Structure 1
Amino acid sequence: MTQPLLTTKGLSRDFGGLRAVDKADFTLMPGEIRAIIGPNGAGKTTFVSLICGRILPSSGAIGFNGAEITALPAYRRVRLGIAYTFQVTSVFANLSAYDNVALSVQRTLTDGRSRGAVREGAMKALEQVGLADRAGTPAGQLAYGHQRLLEVAMGLALQPKLLILDEPTQGLSDGEIEGFVALIREIAREATVLIIEHNMPVVMQLAHRITVFDAGRIIAEGDPAEIRTNTQVQEAYLGAAHG
């Protein structure tokens, strides 16, 4: 039987008197595209921040690829294969698209391999997201949608086992969203994808399974058809999302 890639047990995070994530039990299998949905303030970004180590839990445990990672700092989790792209673009505006991605590649080369290896890794990631022809463009001069794709390339360059994307289609045009859906399906051949997304058509198209948060708790999980017909989800989120 296949072992889960990621598990959380009783994962909680308090900020003062507010419990942002409340006893989350979560299992993610290798090769899955999993979407996390829920209303604003439901705890989605806090939850993935706990997984990638940007913040540490108040209680509970996180396991990744058979290892206990609950207390590991973020950079060690990157080395284990967890890559995270932010809700707000975090590219280095003054560096070229290529240099942004090359910085990520260098983090994976622990044996001081050649500049050729860096170039090969960076160009492969840029090609995957369709930005190879803009490799020399300063990131700050790229259109917003291309900056989002550059972030995905920076994540891919880390050769992750798990790629976490937070609101990746925010600000993308319809045409760009279509390309993004195709890209994620391509990425999922080599990596597991965990995506926070408000665009429900994208979620329903892409996700194998969906996890729904509300007020810090996981209130439902299932495939798109199950989530679409779940009355608790409709009350907490889908109704609010459409009205």
Structure 2
Amino acid sequence: MASVILSARGLTRHFGGLRAVDGVDFDLQTGDIHALIGPNGAGKTTFVGLLSGRIPAQSGTIALAGEDITRLPAHARVKKGIAYTFQITSVYPRLSVFDNVALAVQQTATRDLASDVAAALSRVNLADRATQTAGTLSYGHQRLLELGMGLALRPRVLILDEPTQGLASGEIANFKQLVRSLAPETTVLLIEHNMDVVMDLATRITVLAAGRHLATGTPSEIRANPAVQDAYLGGHDASA
């Protein structure tokens, strides 16, 4: 049986009267590609913000490989092995592609920065663009650069927030191939509105609705779940 690399119990975050995340339990198994889905306003982005430390939890606990990280800030969680790529590209547009990845690599205990940057760029097929200014990349290539920055951290858990947003169909196909290549060495938590991508990539899926856990299961189990069909798969907006 696979071990649990990241878990949450009773995780809660309210914003005034809005219960963005309301007592959620969650387990991420080592080596999985686990998708997090739900209708508009389900609390997906808030939830991964809590897991990554970008948003403090009001109650509940978070553990990474059994270690309580509930009170650790985001930068400390990065060093523990959690990398989070954002829904909107977060590259440094005036720096080169190489320097963007180098900034990420410097957060790890690297012995050979140039080699580690080259390896990350090669992984996302951007090695031939190392000297290009990041802001001149296409949107799709900027998303790949952001993914390369995440991989350069050598994370145990990589959280991808709407990674295919704005990508062309050919770029999505390449992205799926890349994500598959990460497992099982890297565990992936994927927030994604494109259900074709979710059903094709994910080994397990968790559904949130109104800030609460609705269901977790394999893609076939989630497809067949009446509560999920009613809350989400019946045609509701899938954006975070």
Fold conserved between structures, TM > 0.5: yes
Work out the number of aligned pairs and report it. 238
In 1, the alpha carbon distance for the partners of 2:103 and 2:234 equals: 42
* 2:177 corresponds to: 182
In 1, the alpha carbon distance for the partners of 2:65 and 2:81 equals: 9
Between stretches 70-79 and 229-238, larger displacement belongs to: 229-238
SS at match of 1:88: coil
Q: Structure 1, residues 124-160: CA drift from partner, whole Å, max 9, x if none? A: 1111111111111111100000000100000000000
In 2, the alpha carbon distance for the partners of 1:188 and 1:176 equals: 19
Identical positions, percent? 61
Q: Judging changes above 3 Å, is the alpha-carbon distance between structure 1 residues 242 and 81 closer, same or farther for their aligned structure 2 residues?
A: closer
Question: How many Å apart are 1:242 and its aligned residue?
Answer: 7.9
In 2, the alpha carbon distance for the partners of 1:187 and 1:137 equals: 25
* 1:86 corresponds to: 86
Question: How many Å apart are 1:189 and its aligned residue?
Answer: 3.1
Question: How many Å apart are 1:240 and its aligned residue?
Answer: 2.2
1:211 aligns with 2:206: yes
In 2, the alpha carbon distance for the partners of 1:66 and 1:60 equals: 15
* 2:13 corresponds to: 13
Question: How many Å apart are 1:42 and its aligned residue?
Answer: 0.5
SS at match of 1:13: strand
Q: Judging changes above 3 Å, is the alpha-carbon distance between structure 1 residues 75 and 242 closer, same or farther for their aligned structure 2 residues?
A: closer
Question: How many Å apart are 1:66 and its aligned residue?
Answer: 1.6
Question: How many Å apart are 1:235 and its aligned residue?
Answer: 1.3
* 1:72 corresponds to: 72
Aligned match for 1:135, one of 130, 136, 139: 130
> Within 5 Å, which residues of 2 pair with 1:15-164?
15-109=15-109, 113=111, 117-164=112-159
* 1:221 corresponds to: 216
Question: How many Å apart are 1:241 and its aligned residue?
Answer: 4.1
Question: How many Å apart are 1:2 and its aligned residue?
Answer: 4.5
Question: How many Å apart are 1:238 and its aligned residue?
Answer: 1.1
In 1, the alpha carbon distance for the partners of 2:236 and 2:13 equals: 26
**What one-letter code is carried by the residue in structure 1 that aligns with 2:132?**
T
SS at match of 1:213: strand
SS at match of 1:227: helix
Unaligned runs of 5+ in 1: none
In 2, the alpha carbon distance for the partners of 1:233 and 1:46 equals: 20
TM-score computed with the length of structure 2 as normaliser: 0.96
Unaligned runs of 5+ in 2: none
SS at match of 1:108: coil
**What one-letter code is carried by the residue in structure 2 that aligns with 1:198?**
H
